[in-house]
Chain A
Amino acid sequence: MTAEERALFKIRNLCVAFDLFRGTLPVLDHVSLAVRRGEKIGLVGETGCGKSVTMKVVVGILPIPPGRIASGEIWFDGTNILSLHGGRLQDVRGRIGLIPQDPSASLNPVFQVGTQLRDAIRYSHRHRNLSAKEIRRLAIDVLAEVGLPDPVRNLSNYPFQLSGGMKQRVLIAMALAANPELLIADEPTTALDVTIQEQVLRLMREAIDRRNLSILIITHNLGLIREFTDRVYIMYAGQIGETGSTRDLFNRPLHPYTKGLLASVPKLTGEGVPFGIPGTVPDYLNAPSGCRFSPRCDRTTEVCASCRPEMILIEGEHRVACHLYKEEQEDDPQAG
């Protein structure tokens, strides 16, 4: 079976557009990705590549209008989220936990940590009628799980009394308290220092492995992706360019954008300052109808700008959407 079929969560051919005065911006162009149970998946891209829009659609916070879901499906455990409404939608969303980007902006400054955590627990366990005592117990347990020192005392702290790393732990605790099956983390450590980032990633990894959760981690930090994830999707200007196991993708990048991105990271080996990728991200209004990376690509051909490259299988789970590569394993029934 392919990754897509066994997936707990999958996005299929998602197209999202923004209707603005300037015109319609086709931001997401046939985005597909899948997360299996217990998998750690990375979605990597630079500013404006559409990774946050993808997250917003999944979590249901995309402002509509100006946003518009033009086509596509988002499947979670056998149901298409986009076709659900009301209570049923809430129930499915409740199984997806969100770890937000900016820990300081994501906690309400006027309520104690405990109040916010208990509210989250009360809502996510609303079908179970927990007593106040049980909720408190759960809150303390989950804070201990994320390694917050002295959880009992921290329940009565206000967010400003906590450091950035501590706040992020609280937010992770909030997400975990709902017993989700999938976590979506949007740049979970961007606001944190490297030494703190290391701690937070470690505890996230432990919690995920312990609870056998899946996680979709959205970031621009390639190093973090390499250390944390099993599989990666590379996104550029609203298109998925390449996907594969983290090891394959870092050891043998195929898509010119992936190669350029990896080469752009300054290396500890001291090979000099990288050149980066020439050009800038295209304006979505005038984006090429084909491969959106083609204007910046050094190996572009005639077909690139006009014809959208299909995702083709190279080896194992390594797929690339680039006209430079041809389908080689025609006999593989799962390919394509």
Chain B
Amino acid sequence: MILRLDDIKKYFPVRHGFLQRKMEYVKAVDGVSLAIKRGEIFGLVGESGSGKSTLGYTVVGIHRSTAGKIIFKGEDLATRQHMDVRAISRKLQIVFQDPGSSLNPKRTIRQTLELPLKVHRLGTRRERLGKLRELLQKVELPEEYLHNYPRALSGGQRQRIAIARALAVEPEFIVLDEPTSALDVSVQGKVVRLLLSLAKEHDLTYLFITHDLSLMRNVASRVAIMYLGKLCEVAPTSEFFKNPLHPYTKMLLSSIPVVSEEEESLKPERSVPKGEIPSPVNRPSGCGFRTRCPLAMDICAQEEPRRTLVNEEHEVHCHLFNNSRIKGDYDWND
């Protein structure tokens, strides 16, 4: 177990009304508990507003959690003091979604990559240069790029630089926030393959945040689905795609546009997604998904669904599976 999240909450205050007197909260992450094993690639999937990125930012300390514990290698990060932020940020790194905006356009690749080394006072000037060359080699780029500005690089190359920056301080855990969704499909694969080989080589653990379930099918060891700041379902990848339980998971799976007949046959029976994703400010009472759920019951509006273990590794947050109905097979009547 390298990282455990214990009931993490992240609320953003929004003021509005006359003289901004009224205070409301965007409950971006509203009680998420997860355990990520060392060396695994944990896929966190959700649509916009699900809070998946906020959760990732909270883990690496860009946001401070409102409540809950982030236990990294036995240490609680949520209470981390100013002093040891540096030491911890070395171990936890992040790669952002859009390599266009995650690299400073006015700084050379060398300046960008050298920053983490300087901050953590690693090596002399000469040693650092050697390290930078090594990093570029790791991400399969020629070392001449050190003197270029990001503008001169393609999207895929920029993302490699962003990966190199994360690797610079030899982290153990990397949050990948949609690392390939801004890239063309013909280069995505190469970047993901690079990430996978780096994970093996450096014994890294990834929290892979994405909206792309098809990608997770091929990458993640376990997958979690988030909706409006809460978890819906967590399961090992093969189980997840073979036996999806939560109605939202099924809706997501059936909405994925695929490119072949074989894939089509793997999707759950088609259901028309209905309704809009509610705003995280006005989360529906009870289960957040009930407004769009084809199987919503009375209890769904009154009570939040509890975490139910279908088997040892498969958890689902849905009233359909509380207690008696644990079997998990139900009629999908649209």
Partners in one complex: yes
By the criterion CB–CB under 8 Å, are A165 and B185 in contact? no
CB pair A265 B47 closer than 8 Å: no
Residues of B near A269 (CB, < 8 A) are: 217, 260, 262-263, 266
* Contact pick for B257, options A164, A227, A267, A271, CB 8 Å: A227
B313 an interface residue at 8 Å Cβ cutoff? no
- Mask: chain A, 155-167; 1 = CB below 8 Å from B; 0 = not: 0000000011110
CB pair B184–A273 under 8 Å, yes or no, is: no
Answer yes or no: A46 CB below 8 A from chain B CBs. yes
Q: Which of B238-260 contact A (CB under 8 A)?
A: 238, 241, 251-252, 255-260
Looking at chain A, what size class is its interface with the partner chain?
A: 35 or more
When chains A and B are docked, how far (Å) is the Cα of A261 from the Cα of B154?
18
Q: CB of B119 within 8 A of chain A?
A: no
Most B-side CB within 10 Å, residue of A194, A220, A262: A194
Q: Which residue of B lies closest to A164 (CB)?
A: B48
| Contact (Cβ within 8 A) A166 B276 | yes
Task: Report whether A267 and B256 are in contact in the complex, using a CB–CB cutoff of 8 Å.
Answer: no
Cβ-neighbour of B218 out of A166, A194, A197, A271 (below 8 A): A271
Determine which of A265, A273, A275 lies in contact with B219 in the assembled complex, contact meaning CB atoms within 8 Å. Answer: A273
Bound: A329/B217 CA distance, A:
42
Contact between chains at B257 and A221 (CB < 8 Å): yes
Expressed in whole angstroms, the Cα–Cα distance for A196 and B277 within the complex equals 8
Chain B contacts with A in 215-235, Cβ cutoff 8 A = 215, 217-219
B211 within 8 A of A: yes
Please name all residues of chain A whose beta carbon is closer than 8 Å to the beta carbon of B257 when the two chains form the complex. 194, 197, 221-224, 226-227
**Which residue from B187, B214, B292 sits with its C-beta under 8 Å from A268?**
B214
B241 and A277: CB pair below 8 A?
A: no
Whose C-beta in chain B lies nearest to the C-beta of A165? B276
CB pair B277 A277 closer than 8 Å:
no
Given A46-B186, A165-B276, also A265-B252 (CB < 8 A) = no
CB of B188 within 8 A of chain A? yes
Chain B residue nearest to A278 in the complex (CB) = B190
Minimum CB–CB distance from A250 to chain B (whole Å) comes to 6
Q: Which residues of A contact B263 (CB under 8 A)?
A: 267-269
What 0/1 pattern do residues 38 to 59 of A give for CB contact below 8 A with B? 0000000011000000000000
Q: B192 contacts A273, CB within 8 Å? A: yes
Indicate if the CB atoms of A266 and B215 lie closer than 8 Å.
yes
Asked if B151 is at the interface of the complex by the 8 Å CB criterion, the answer is no
B189 lies within 8 A of chain A by Cβ: yes
Residues of chain B within 8 A of A260, CB atoms compared: 186
Quick check: A264 and B189 within 8 Å, CB to CB? yes
A-B pairs with CB below 8 Å: how many? 130
Please state if B184 and A220 are interface contacts (CB–CB under 8 Å). yes
Asked whether, in the complex, the Cβ of A270 is within 8 Å of the Cβ of B259, the reply is no
Which A residues are in CB contact (< 8 Å) with B219? 266, 273
Query: Known interface pairs A222-B259, A273-B218. Does A268 touch B185 (Cβ–Cβ under 8 Å)?
Result: no
How many angstroms from the CA of A192 to the CA of B237 in the assembled complex?
Answer: 25
B273: A residues at CB distance < 8 A? 195-196, 198-199
Q: How far is the CA of A199 from the CA of B277 in the complex (A)?
A: 12
Judge if B6 is at the interface, Cβ distance under 8 Å.
no
In B276-292, the 8 Å CB interface with A consists of: 276-277, 292
Alpha-carbon separation in the docked complex, A267 to B218 (Å):
7
The verdict on B134 contacting chain A, using a C-beta distance below 8 Å, is no
- Within 8 Å CB of A198, what residues of B? 255, 272-273
A222 to B259, CA, bound (A): 6
Q: Which residues on the A side are within 8 Å of B277 (C-beta)?
A: 163, 193, 195-196
In the bound complex, how far is the Cα of B213 from the Cα of A268, in angstroms?
8
Contact with B along A301-325 (1 / 0, CB 8 A): 0000000000000000000000000
Alpha-carbon gap, A266 to B257, bound state (A): 11
Q: A274-B189, A276-B187, A277-B186 are in contact. Are A197 and B258 (CB under 8 A)?
A: no
Residues of B within 8 A of A334 (CB): none
Instruction: Give residues 174-216 of A contacting B (CB, 8 Å).
Output: 193-199, 202
Residues of B within 8 A of A273 (CB): 189, 192-193, 196, 215, 218-219
Complex contact A264–B186 (CB within 8 A): yes
CB-CB nearest in chain B for A250:
B259
Shortest distance between the CB of A163 and any CB in chain B (Å):
5
* B258 close to A193 (CB less than 8 A): no
- Say yes or no: is A2 at the interface (Cβ < 8 Å to chain B): no
Residues from chain B with Cβ under 8 Å of A227 in the complex:
257
Is A131 part of the binding interface, using a Cβ–Cβ cutoff of 8 Å?
A: no
Is A23 close to B, CB under 8 A?
no
Give the residue name and chain of the B residue nearest to A296 (CB): B186
B residues in contact with A163, CB < 8 Å: 276-277
A280 on interface, CB distance cutoff 8 Å: yes
Q: CA A14 – CA B186 in complex, angstroms? A: 26
Cβ-defined contact, A280 with B212, below 8 A: no
Q: Would you call B61 an interface residue if the criterion is a C-beta within 8 Å of the partner chain's C-beta atoms?
A: no
A87 within 8 A of B: no
**Are the CB atoms of A275 and B187 closer together than 8 Å?**
no
B185 (CB) vs chain A CBs: closest residue: A264
With a 10 A CB-CB cut-off, give which of B211, B213, B238, B255 has the most chain A CB atoms.
Answer: B255
Give A residues with C-beta under 8 Å from B.
Answer: 46-47, 163-166, 193-199, 202, 220-224, 226-227, 250, 260-262, 264-277, 280-281
Starting from the known contacts A194-B211, A220-B184, 5 additional A-B residue pairs (CB-CB under 8 Å) come to A196-B277, A199-B272, A222-B259, A265-B185, A266-B188
Chain A to chain B: the 8 pairs with minimum beta-carbon distance, closest first: A223-B257, A276-B189, A195-B273, A193-B47, A274-B189, A46-B184, A277-B186, A268-B263
Q: Could you show 9 A-B contacts with beta carbons less than 8 Å apart?
A: A195-B255, A202-B272, A220-B184, A223-B257, A261-B186, A264-B185, A267-B259, A270-B238, A273-B196
